[in-house]
Amino acid sequence: MTILSWMNPAEAVVSSSSKSVSTGMGDAADPITTEIIRQGLNAAAEHMKRTVIRTAFSPIIYEALDFAVALYDADMSMLAQAPTLPSFMGTLGFCVEAAVTAVGGPQVLGPGDVVLYNDPFGTGTHPQDAAMIVPIFALDTLVGYAVIKAHWLDIGGKDPYCTDTVDVFQEGTIFPGVKLYEGDELVDSIYRMVLANSRIPDAVIGDINAMVAGARSGGAALSRIVERYGLDVFRQCVARIYDHGEAMVRHWFEQLPDGEYSASSVIDGDGVIGTPIPFEVVVRVHGSSVTVDYTGAPDQTVGPINSPLPSTVAVSRLAVAYLVGNEAPNEGHFRALEVLTRPGSIFHPVRPAPSFMYGVPSDHAIELIINALAAALPDLVPASSGGDICALVWWGSREANGEPWADGAPHPVGLGASPQGDGASTMMFHSESATRFTPAEIWEARNPWVIEQCALAQDSGGVGQYRGGLGLNLSFRVVEDCYITVAIARTKLRPWGLEGGGEGRPNALEIEYPDGRVESHSLSTRVALPKGTLVHLRSGSGGGHGSAAQREISSVRNDLTEEYISLEHVRVHYPHAM
């Protein structure tokens, strides 16, 4: 539900929360049948995920898992979502609502329809993250929607991946809710528009076909569930599923001390203007409800680091889910969370603001929400991680045949230490935590580069009683001329430690050219890479927790044996272990 207070636009505040509300309908549901249906819905979402993985064309989808799948009921509340890209959690409902509204509402949908939607202000991300929505019918009734959102490698923006756009029109072709299929028939005009607006149409069409197949498989599974149990029983059980999710989250919230908690950070720059951007996030706990308040955020920026409302809501949900550690999410889990934003700010930009690098502020926000609650949860909250997805996107034309190619991926960082132990090394950041690191063999087989180094970064983790996770040292040597867009943030802000723990290392990237020149890059678009160039990614590490003087000697010596740290590092930071 989105509620807009009609004040002066500069002062307007939006409250975004779950669409579903408790109706009491779930009280009549049989608990065993409810659990069978819940597991059936989760299995249907997982089947959608597996279908996409097995049929997609691009490694960024089938290897990196840069996509999300979910099932929604007829009221557009989330029934189930398979674990893929966490930062999409919560955005898919916005996609369904906006896409269905754009084509004329549920009444104009029929079996076999597929709606294409990629407007950033409805998806929450950039136009390359396109959604396919399939209406699901059972017993002659619209019972829900299957939706898949996945990253297409190119959709006709000024570059395949951009860090320097100044309006949404530079970022890619927008399909604001159009039928790609109508009654199982491909709409040829839309299909040809997609082909005409991509530098690599074969890859995009291959991924579109995988998304359509995946969404339809989920729709078929949901139809079978409804037809097996009947519409009334299904709806009663879904209501009980939502109520259970809400009760679990509210019980966890009730353990938090009531109060207002805040944390602040600084963004390096917006990709166009290099001025640092400080901001604060406020978290309010009241009984069994939590509010995340972004109304004090800076105004939307000239460059593309603006996070549209759906993404702001999604990362707020993700931060809470990260702490709660709940089961597979459904709409009920979100009922107790409220998100406040200010239109015209970096967390609620308005058209035509650019948003290609939407993940920069939203990734900051995840860790700020967690950090803000450190005072309320001192025994649970971890120190900061590398704090970024460290995305690299490459493209060019192959020397042998002139064929266009493109690839891209997020890269892992070190996670922060906690009161329970050391931070994990080289893991995907929270917003990408269910994605995967593409194997070097896949990369080298498909793309014109070789991996010259892929190693844990010795001595990089923040020191402490529990040390931060190590970052990654990854070096590519390109063997053909090509281009790269570097989308790396938090290159200046060092990951913070907690309770006396040391800071981690920030993210960095250097390009070493064949003529000996070395350049540092963070947000840089279309950087030319001549054959023989080396690209060195140095992903950030996690902060430490507690005083280094309290680290167990056995832990220090084990790290030394495993070469996570050097002898000089021990002399400087852990002299008690010498």
Handedness of CA 83, 88, 89, 92 (dihedral sign): negative
Q: Does the pLDDT at position 477 exceed 90?
A: yes
**Measured between alpha carbons, how far is 251 from 288 in angstroms, rounded to an integer?**
7
Domain ranges of the chain: 22-240, 382-578
**Distances, alpha carbon 504 to alpha carbons 93, 414, 545, in Å:** 36, 9, 11
**Measured between alpha carbons, how far is 64 from 446 in angstroms, rounded to an integer?**
14
Per the structure block, which two tokens stand in for 444? 């080298």
Question: What is the pLDDT at residue 3?
Answer: 32
CB contact at 8 A, 181 and 212: yes
Of 89, 18, 129, the closest CA to residue 366 belongs to: 89
Task: Tell if the pTM clears 0.75, that is, is over it.
Answer: yes
Angle between helices 231-253 and 201-229 (to 10 degrees): 110
What's the mean per-residue pLDDT of the chain? 92
Cα angle 369, 375, 380; round to 5: 75
Question: What is the pLDDT at residue 516?
Answer: 95
pLDDT band at 7 (very low <50, low <70, confident <90, very high): very low
Name the residue with higher pLDDT: 91 or 345.
345
Q: Does the pLDDT at position 539 exceed 90?
A: yes
Burial class (CB in 10 A: 0-12, 13-18, 19+), 131: buried
pLDDT band at 320 (very low <50, low <70, confident <90, very high): confident
pLDDT band at 1 (very low <50, low <70, confident <90, very high): very low
Q: Does the pLDDT at position 351 exceed 50?
A: yes
The 10s digit of each residue's pLDDT in 396-422 is 999 999 999 999 889 999 999 999 999
The 10s digit of each residue's pLDDT in 143-169 is 999 999 999 999 999 999 999 999 999
Q: Does the pLDDT at position 15 exceed 70?
A: no
Helical (H) or strand (E) element with 234:
helix 231-253
**Measured between alpha carbons, how far is 55 from 402 in angstroms, rounded to an integer?**
25
Question: What is the pLDDT at residue 29?
Answer: 92
The 10s digit of each residue's pLDDT in 211-242 is 999 999 999 999 999 999 999 999 999 999 99
pLDDT band at 4 (very low <50, low <70, confident <90, very high): very low
